[in-house]
Chains A and B, each alone.
Chain A
Amino acid sequence: MDAKEIIARRVAQELRAGMLVNLGIGLPSMVASFVPDGLQVFFQAENGVIGLGSRPPEGMEDRDLTDAGGGFVTAVPGAASIDSAMSFGLIRGGHLDMTVLGGLQVDEKGHLANWMVPGKMVPGMGGAMDLVTGAKRVVVAMVHSAKGAPKIVPECTLPLTAARRVSLIVTEMAVIEPTDDGLVLRETGPGVSVEDIRAATTATLIVPDDLGRMSFD
């Protein structure tokens, strides 16, 4: 299993029956491939569909049915198409059970930065600020460090996506839960020790007695 697959499989374990879930483009979208058998969840794409399905077979694309990255998708039976006001009403209004997004940095307060690098990259926030502000649970799915540079830091140096604390951070090395007391290491990744995680993290980590390990069937 490569890093991204470990992350996607572990995030998929956070899914519960009946949830409405938004998956960001890129790595987070891989979570859809690891939904446990028989578990019904609805995926929302903020551009306007609840009940996002898999990629269509080649030649069977519908030009009016894409995900938030503009890629062609299908819709599952029971799907609904919605406009942007309804879509963000669901997101901001607390009707979205979980959002899974990528991150550039997360800090000890659980603040996320993921929408710009001043002077270098200004893609814009798209729907990320609304998603992090409004979803019931915010899960950050990202590789643990960027080419050796730590991403889990004492304090974000990049512009924040929201002032709200995220619910969970899942990397290929660790599952970390931001709390009132700070970042609590919940699980270690496959073949990774607490010391490995500490070496790749500049933020202070609290290691509880009941530290778990990621496990995959």
Chain B
Amino acid sequence: MKRALKPEEAAEMIPEGAVLLIGGFMGVGSPHRLIDAIVARGVGGLTLVNNDTCRPGEGVGKLIDAGLVDKAIVSHIGLNPVTQQKMISGEMEVELVPQGTLVERIRAGGVGLGGVLTPTGVGTLVEEGKRVIEIDGRKFLLERPIRGDFALLDARHADYVGNLEYSLTAHNFNPVMALAADTVIAEPHHIMPVGVISPDAVKTPGVLVDYLLERAH
């Protein structure tokens, strides 16, 4: 059975300079209470891996606002002028990765692959510095795996085994990130009695999840 942590207990586990895989797409499917607790603790030097940097004052955008992120590995920053400004001033490094490549790099990190070969980015700026490998006459980029020290996930339902069920477009990167970090903390909207979530509905088996966040009161 998995222990449910208070948000501040979870934030205490995260050291300076940690690599955080955080679920969410423009804040939908992000673990908002965990993010708030990290901001409250003020632990810095972080590497953030997310689809985007959300908006200022929202979701993972709060980590950027607070100056806690040294490097962001994301696919899109267009809706966050704070990220753009910190990138231009050199305060923060931003690695832009095509969205489909980003999810496959994380998946590779999680499932024990040495990388992925993708046609996305061939002949563009994304190709710079990467190996191009030709297979059956078609060019692919070798993209390297991504792993995190922590994966911080949002889920609709969890049980104390750690099984997770997600909701609509709040799936996004969460099920993939659950595989790719040393410590996985899930923030469920509801914690159900064991046995209530149908085995067919479980998208992330509990063996992958180390801790749950306790329910909001």
> Interface size of A by Cβ–Cβ distance < 8 Å?
40
Which one of B11-19, B35-43, B69-77, B205-213 contacts A? Answer: B69-77
Distance of A107 Cα from B203 Cα, bound (Å): 44
In the complex, the number of residue pairs spanning A and B with C-beta atoms less than 8 Å apart equals: 142
Contact A46 B124 (CB under 8 A): no
Contact of A88 among B27, B52, B96, B103 (CB under 8 A): B103
Q: Is the CB of A130 within 8 A of B100?
A: yes
Shortest Cβ distance from A156 into chain B, in angstroms? 11
Report yes or no: A63 in contact with B104, Cβ–Cβ below 8 A.
no
By beta carbon, the residue of chain A nearest B167 is A64
Known contacts A66-B28, A84-B176, A92-B100; is-contact A122 B77 (Cβ 8 Å) = yes
Contact partner of B172 (CB less than 8 A), chosen from A84, A92, A122, A134, is A84
Task: Specify which chain A residues have a CB less than 8 angstroms from the CB of B148 in the assembled complex.
Answer: none
Q: Does B29 contact A (CB under 8 A)?
A: yes
Chain B: how many interface residues by the 8 Å CB criterion? 45
- The answer to whether A85 and B104 touch (CB under 8 A), given A64-B29, A133-B119, is yes
Q: Do B119 and A84 have beta carbons less than 8 Å apart?
A: no
Q: Tell me what chain B mostly uses at the interface: helix, strand, loop, or mixed.
A: mixed
Task: Scan residues 104-135 of chain A and give those whose CB is less than 8 A from a CB of chain B.
Answer: 121-130, 133-134
Which 8 A-B residue pairings sit nearest by Cβ, starting from the closest? A123-B78, A163-B123, A88-B100, A130-B100, A70-B26, A126-B76, A124-B76, A64-B170
**Which chain B residues have a beta carbon within 8 Å of chain A's beta carbons?**
25-29, 51-52, 74-79, 84, 87, 96, 98-101, 103-104, 107, 118-126, 156, 166-176, 203
Chain A interface (Cβ < 8 Å from any Cβ of B): 45-49, 62-66, 68-70, 75, 81-85, 87-88, 91-92, 121-130, 133-134, 159-163
